[in-house]
Amino acid sequence: MLERGPSTLGPPDRRNRIVTWLARGDWPRSAFYWFYFSALGALLPYWPLYLRSRGFGPRALGDLMALFALSRIVAPYIGGWLSDRFGQRLTVVRGGALLAFVCFLFIVYAHGFVAFAAVMVSFSFFWYATLPPVEASTLAFHGDRYGRIRLWGSIGFIVVVLGLGPILDRLGAQVTVPVIAILLFGLWLATLGLAPLGAPPTGLAPAPIRRGLAPFLVACFLMQVSYGPYYTFYSIYLAHYGYDKATIGALWALGVVCEVVVFWQAGRFFARFGEWRLFAFTFGLAVVRWLVIAGFPRSWPALALAQTFHAFTFGLYHALAVRLVSRYAGPGAKARAQAYYGSAAGAGAAVGAATSGYLWAAVGPRGMFLSAAAVAGAGFLVIMARMKTREQETC
């Protein structure tokens, strides 16, 4: 009898972990997150650079990115409502992914502001609609592993950001278009491997959203407004101070590397420090982050330090946000609650993107980030007020 050579998968316990991971259905969700956030890794750092290469100035660029974010207000709610109302979560996700890819292909025919706006709004509408049903299902059926499934999205983001920067330095910003198209097509392919996402219980009236959601959504709105200058102009801001695209990509990636660590260990943070206290901390750290970026634009170490804060101001913030918002809704309204959060975040992103272009022109790049710090500070005050109200309600 022939003896088998050593397995390339490693020790038996490692093989068992891999088999278990494949068997319990985590990998299709991980693939979905990988492609979804890989596309985001091409869009956030490099799409503004592509728009600038097409001749758009700061104000037009800010308006375009605002329109891009505008679909994030409506799409999550529609996707979440359809999922909860008809129980067709998988249909919404697969259809949205395919339509996002098809709509994006029309970018090659776009010329001028109106045409770019039409393509960006249409493809991003369907793209954003795919996320709430998957988020709600992952939280419902894989809640204890949410961070470890979601972190594959962050890994995809890192791979694209690091890999695309040097390519753009060599070949130009136009390469962004085919890369995004390939990633959107991969997202659709990933949805084909998803098992049914679990329909909400039938025969139940839509569960009411519990009290206290509005202040929470206001705070999330303000956090995303403060991110407007970062998502829209951070790459251009760095280029303005002489950084090349490879360095720009490295700084983006550094933030997401730190984010992956936090996603992996999110459960321990929740258990040790308390969710609402941590949520307030993420807002306070966002204030510090924008102040550092505004104050030390020529210092690479300072900017790198500020990027490590992304682990908390996005990674921990987002893990807490989807966790907390889920508690405001009953079993028949989980996707709808995630949609409310997505819509509030989208509205904040749209406002932040639109105003950042005007702030760049009015108060300069550094003043723009100082304004972002002030908005994050307002969000911090809202969360502190909500925490005080919760304490009074429990007394």
Identify the residue with better confidence: 139 or 287: 287
Q: Beta-carbon neighbour count of residue 211 at 10 Å?
A: 10
User: Which of 20-29, 110-119, 128-137, 314-323 has the lowest average pLDDT?
Assistant: 20-29
Decide if 107 is inside a domain. Answer: yes
Residue 303 resides in a domain: yes
Report yes or no on 233 lying in a domain.
yes
Q: Average pLDDT in the 159-175 region?
A: 88
> Domain for residue 2, yes or no?
no
> Is residue 1 predicted with pLDDT exceeding 50?
no
Reported as a pLDDT band with limits 50, 70 and 90, residue 215 is: confident
* Band of residue 113 on the pLDDT scale cut at 50, 70, 90: very high
pLDDT classification of 341: cutoffs 50, 70, 90: confident
For residue 8, tell me if it sits in a domain.
no
Give residue 204's pLDDT band: very low, low, confident or very high (50, 70, 90): very low
Q: Residue 33: what pLDDT? A: 92
Residue 331: pLDDT band (50, 70, 90) is low
Round to whole Å and give the CA distance between 50 and 65.
Answer: 12
Give the separation between CA 60 and CA 41, rounded to whole angstroms: 22
* Top-confidence residue, 142 or 113: 113
Closest by CA to 327, choosing from 79, 200, 139, is 139
Decide if 323 is inside a domain: yes
Residue 322 clears pLDDT 90, i.e. is over it: no
Domain count, the chain: 1
What's 312's domain CATH number? 1.20.1250.20
> What pLDDT is recorded for position 224?
94
Q: Whole-model pTM above 0.85?
A: no
Inform me whether the pLDDT recorded for 392 exceeds 70.
no
Section 73-101 average pLDDT = 77
Cα torsion 254, 258, 261, 262: sign: negative
Q: Which of 261-270, 306-315, 359-368 has the lowest average pLDDT?
A: 261-270
19 domain-assigned? no
For 263, the domain range is 25-394
Residues 6+ positions from 390 with CB-CB distance below 8 Å = 212, 276
Rg (CA), the chain: 21
What would the mean pLDDT of 26-38 be, rounded to a whole number? 88
Residue 42 has pLDDT above 60, yes or no: yes
Query: To 5 degrees, how large is the angle CA 255–CA 260–CA 263?
Result: 125
pLDDT at residue 17 greater than cutoff 60 = no
Q: How far apart are CA 59 and CA 286, in angstroms?
A: 25
Mean pLDDT of the chain: 81
Contacts of 268 (CB under 8 A, 6+ apart): none
Is 140 part of a structural domain of the chain?
A: yes
Nearest to 340 by CA among 236, 215, 227, 241: 215
The pLDDT of residue 105 is: 95
